[in-house]
Amino acid sequence: MIPVIVISIYLVIIGVIGGLAFRKSQANTEDYFLANRSVGEMVFFLSIFATNMTAFAILGSSGQAYRQGIGIYGLMASSSGFVIPLTIFFIGTRLWALGKRFGHQTQVSFFRDRWECDAIGTVIFALSALMLVPYMIISIMGGGTVLAHISDAGGTQPPIISYPVGCAIVAVVVTLGVFLGGMRGTVWVNILQTTLFLCFGAVAVVTISHSLPGGFGEYIAKLAGDPKTSFLVTREKMPPQAFWSYTLIPLSSIMFPHMAIMCFSARKVTAFRRTVVLYPLAIMLIWLPCVFLGVLGAATLGKVADADGVLLLMLEKYAPVWLAGILGAGIISAVMGSDAHQVLALSTMFTKDIYQHYGGREKYGEKAAVHFARAFIIIVTLAAYGIALELKAKQGIFEIAIRYAFSGFAALAPVMIAALFWKRSTKWGALAATLFTAACLIYFAVLQNTCHPGDIIWQIGQGKDAIKVLFLNPRGDVSFWNGFMTVVPMVFGSALCMIVGSLVTRPPSQATIDKYFPKQMSKSSGRNTQLEPALSKVASAAR
């Protein structure tokens, strides 16, 4: 009961913070969705990091390290620590400047205005919403997994909190917090949550290593010396095709609606500077301990039924019960921090890009928009909860995130890049890229559920010289061209659709091009005077 009590206290604290934020909130969408664009530097970093650290980063990474070894860190964390800060700086700062100037609150509203389109913006909204739901699902699955494992007395008795009840608790607490506090409540909670799970990894590694007979080094040496387990401490099971495929996955970060919306909420562009510097360090503090503990789990626990729970099993076996409760709260905080932003992002997009765009605010008023947003939060959370219960027995957290959420949003990155940096890009190019991404996701999902590991869908040639173009690998994942992940053809195919679709169609009006790529120059200095204030702030942040 001790871990359960500790986590319950933590959940009550989260609810109290949401209530305090509700008392400070105002009855308008600018305050509810963006906290009046008043998020300061350190809070911005803590919040934007929390949006990206889900059950995937803690439970999924340790579970995958248990299966494949320490090379998982190189696949995801190394590329994420490099690519995500770059996208935040080069894309996030520009989104901030345009949002500040033109009042955009979501990326869909920016796309609509940038490409003079309504229906295509709705298509992008629909696809973004559908791809974000799997990300919400893994957060709810992670919360249910934590509460079930932490309350089963090391597997010696049925859990006090079953998996379905655990999922429900996390869904209710997150929904209540977002329902009451909006963006302000979410970022306040993130201060506590991010601090907790940044401390979690180091404390867990030190505690568990101290409890292991012989210590951390002896177990790693034991794994390396056994031919059956040596792959866990090498990159033996990390083929080059997988490594280069994973370098494209972090492109998804800035296309996640909750990440883009966080960029719009910053008070000053200088907030991005601190985030770019601290983000790689924070990635390392989260991923390294979780990956190491997953590998240690393979050495100490033997075969487990649920690899996503290996980290929790290690805590139960080697940490005092009170500390296991605190560390369990740290894991829950990572799960809930991202889930809150995802729920809020979906609500923001629905309210701004559907309800308000199609005349709801004029008909029902500004205050009613907040009520519609809160109703949408409840509906989406119920749907995600139902799917989480269904998927638990079929797919792991890591696989769900990679197959559906990360790959899809990474494939939409060319749309964002074209909108921000290519004058000639058009709505038809954006539509072609969006439909291509949607078609790929549907097609690969069908293959995933109808074919079997090892099946070849398409190959060129026969015998030893045959090139497998599309097939299922031994783990049952759809692969491309002798081992690349599906994110590779999706990203490059989307970019090609964006380019060709734009070149063969009429560009936006000159007025829109001048609006987003202004030509007004100071005759004396040759500088762009129209965007000079925003660009000077970006330059200051870079310095």
314 pLDDT more than 80: yes
Tell me how far apart the alpha carbons of residues 141 and 339 are, in angstroms, rounded to a whole number: 11
Strand partners, 528: 521
For every residue of 20-65, DSSP letters joined together read: HHHHH--SSHHHHHHGGG-B-HHHHHHHHHHHH--HIIIIIHHHHH
* pLDDT mean over 331-338: 71
User: Taking the CB of residue 435, how many other CB atoms lie within 10 A of it?
Assistant: 16
Query: In whole numbers, what is the pLDDT of the chain averaged over residues?
Result: 81
- Report pLDDT for 523: 38
Maximum mean pLDDT: which of 177-186, 242-251, 342-351, 394-403: 242-251
CA 242 to chain centroid, in Å, comes to 20
- Report pLDDT for 90: 92
Largest CA distance in the chain: 79
- Report pLDDT for 153: 61
Structural domains in the chain, sorted by start: 2-24+41-403 (1.20.1730.10), 519-543 (no CATH)
- Report pLDDT for 500: 97
**Residue 90 burial by CB count (10 A; 0-12/13-18/19+): exposed, middle or buried?**
middle
What does the pLDDT look like over 118-133, one tens digit per residue?
A: 888 889 888 888 888 8
Is the entire prediction scored with pTM above 0.95?
Answer: no
Rounded (to 5) percent helix, strand, coil in the chain: 75, 5, 20
What does the pLDDT look like over 29-83, one tens digit per residue?
A: 667 666 677 777 888 888 888 777 766 777 778 888 888 888 888 887 888 888 9
| Paired tokens of 202 | 């180091």
- Report pLDDT for 532: 47
Q: Look at residues 270, 224, 222, 297 and name the one whose alpha carbon lies nearest to residue 65.
A: 297
Helix (H, G, I), strand (E, B) or coil at 528: strand
- Report pLDDT for 397: 58
DSSP code of 472? E
* pLDDT mean over 90-105: 91
Asked which of 60-74, 206-220, 263-277, 404-418 is least confident by mean pLDDT, the reply is 206-220
* pLDDT mean over 3-32: 75
> Which 3-state string (H, E, C) describes 352-365?
HHHHHCCCHHHHHC
- Report pLDDT for 156: 66
- Report pLDDT for 264: 86
> Which 3-state string (H, E, C) describes 258-284?
HHHHHHHHECCCHHHHHHHHHHHHHHH
* pLDDT mean over 183-195: 77
295 pLDDT more than 60: yes
Number of H helices, E strands in the chain: 26, 4
Asked which of 252-266, 363-377, 408-422 is least confident by mean pLDDT, the reply is 363-377
User: Taking the CB of residue 472, how many other CB atoms lie within 10 A of it?
Assistant: 18
- Report pLDDT for 525: 37
Strand partners, 266: 39
CA 53 to chain centroid, in Å, comes to 7
